Structure 1
């Protein structure tokens, strides 16, 4: 039968684990990605970690979640900002050549979406849109247990959704994009540039609790943009449930309470009682779990 291994490849860390049928993770290993040492070094490390994770057991499938942009159809990592030097890396081909088993690659947000849809907050629904709000903003759509990746694999890239034409911009994203206002990075940068508040998003949330109006304004702005994005996605896709995770969402009611109310202001009246926002349940292991599920998606 063999075991199913998930690999969560990030710019800082690589994590591997065996994922059981009930979604539990065993033999979890985490090590530094060492991107500064080149692609080959990281690939060698991944192979070694997978072999140590397997511990001599037969491997049935390997799934890999990685930062985009990538092409899940060809199994190629294109040129992700947080994996410098990874240009047109045929990751699936190289892993299949070594292990001789089915290997599947997809965006890390899609992998997390699949995990939440199968074992997390979206397990009771047939259509799930997962949103992660952390350093950046990402998303993934799962319908009937299968990730919808789109024609070129870019489906779910909601961070680049334009919500404020010619608005604020950072990185290579569109001006006025969702990620430019609602991500943890954006919250920290906006606070510093507008009000001289240093310490990133975490400090902003602390100041909100202390009643500082400038910090409250930054958070309200982020919530408003996130609410607009969710409303847009609702009108376009109309999923049964939105599952939200990531570091920013860990701010709790500072985000959740106003977000749930603000979303309703942008919806058709008939959708207001139907909208469902749920907190992610698998943030700690979603990447590894979802990666392992990639080769096992419902056909």
Structure 2
């Protein structure tokens, strides 16, 4: 059975075709351009799906999206790094456009389940997965089953408070991990302290070149990320935790 997997990121939109063993056989992507709103992004998603499925008998589509969202209803609620996405019934819209079965879940949850079942955590009972990209997310798998919580938003660690005296960000708690250690946060600090416009990538490049301010920005983010990871370890006591840096 051929399936399509979609990674809806704050920066990039990726679509891939997978075989029955879960192996990626075809992949394509484009910038998300999230600032253009959900209607534009959904049109781009449908376009990539139509291109990807040529030559394959696709049976279902799985979408990983930034949270918070309701995986039981297939609705994206109001992610901080997808402006204008509020109560968007994404699964329904893609289902109507493609006439295929569609499942929506938090992107970190989807990655966590994959890592725990066919990846590096397949021999572990308890796996916690962390993604650090435009935002920060998490997913927890216990005995090969995803722990989702009552509303499907378990492990939304981006909103974990790691410094109550620090700044916040739209849609996040004051001092939230995502507001202090995500790619967006690093880019924001780079703009404020260095006057750059290239985001986190430029901060890392400057740090590699020896810029002390850039190094301090990254050290600050790593400090808060370490606090978040320590909180997770002491809360769920996983066999393994995995971190992914993306875009």
Aligned counterpart, 1:171: 170
Q: CA deviation at 1:238?
A: 0.8
Aligned to 2:15: 16
Deviations 1:18-72 (A, max 9, x none): 2123332123232454656664454444334323322254332211112222110
- 1:98 & 1:209 partners in 2: Cα distance? 46
| 1:86 to 2:85 alignment | yes
Which residue matches 1:70? 69
Match of 2:3 in 1: 4
| TM-score computed with the length of structure 2 as normaliser | 0.83
The TM-score normalised by the length of structure 1 is 0.70
CA distance in 1, matches of 2:41, 2:190: 36
- Aligned-residue offset at 1:242: 0.8
Q: How big is each residue's C-alpha offset from its partner over 1:229-272, in whole Å with a ceiling of 9 and x where there is no partner?
A: 1111111111111101114xxxxxxxxxxxxxxxxxxxxxxxxx
Could you tell me how far apart the structure 1 residues matched to 2:37 and 2:185 are? 29
What CA distance in whole angstroms lies between the structure 2 residues aligned with 1:210 and 1:51? 43
Contact 2:79 2:171 in 1 (8 A): no
Residue in structure 2 matched with residue 118 of structure 1 by the alignment: 117
Task: Give structure 1 stretches of 5+ with no counterpart.
Answer: 248-282, 284-299
CA offset at residue 80 of structure 1?
Answer: 2.9
Q: Which runs of 5+ in 2 are unaligned?
A: none
Tell me the equivalent position of 2:153. Answer: 154
Quote the residue 1:104 is aligned against: 103
Structure 1's 89 and 235: CA in aligned 2 closer, same or farther, altered over 3 A? same
- Report the CA distance shift for 1:216/1:92 in structure 2 as closer, same or farther (over 3 A): closer
Are the counterparts in 2 of residues 122 and 241 from structure 1 also a CA contact under 8 Å? yes
Q: How many angstroms apart in 1 are the aligned matches of 2:215 and 2:34?
A: 37
Match of 1:235, SS state, is helix
CA contact under 8 A between 1:66 and 1:105: conserved in structure 2? Answer: yes
Aligned-CA RMSD value: 2.9
C-alpha contact (below 8 Å) 2:80/2:172 kept by paired residues: no
Which structure is larger by alpha-carbon Rg, 1 or 2? 1
Q: Note if contact 2:12-2:30 (Cα within 8 Å) is conserved in structure 1.
A: yes
Tell me, yes or no, if the aligned pair for 1:71 and 1:106 is still in contact at 8 Å.
yes
Q: Is the 8 A contact 2:66 2:137 kept in 1?
A: no
CA contact 1:79–1:87 (8 Å) conserved in 2: yes
Q: CA deviation at 1:105?
A: 0.3
Larger RCO, structures 1/2 (Cα 8 Å, 6+ apart): 1
CA distance in 2 between partners of 1:172 and 1:90 (Å): 19
Structure 2 CA distance for aligned equivalents of residues 53 and 212 of structure 1: 42
Distance 1:135 1:97, change over 3 A: closer
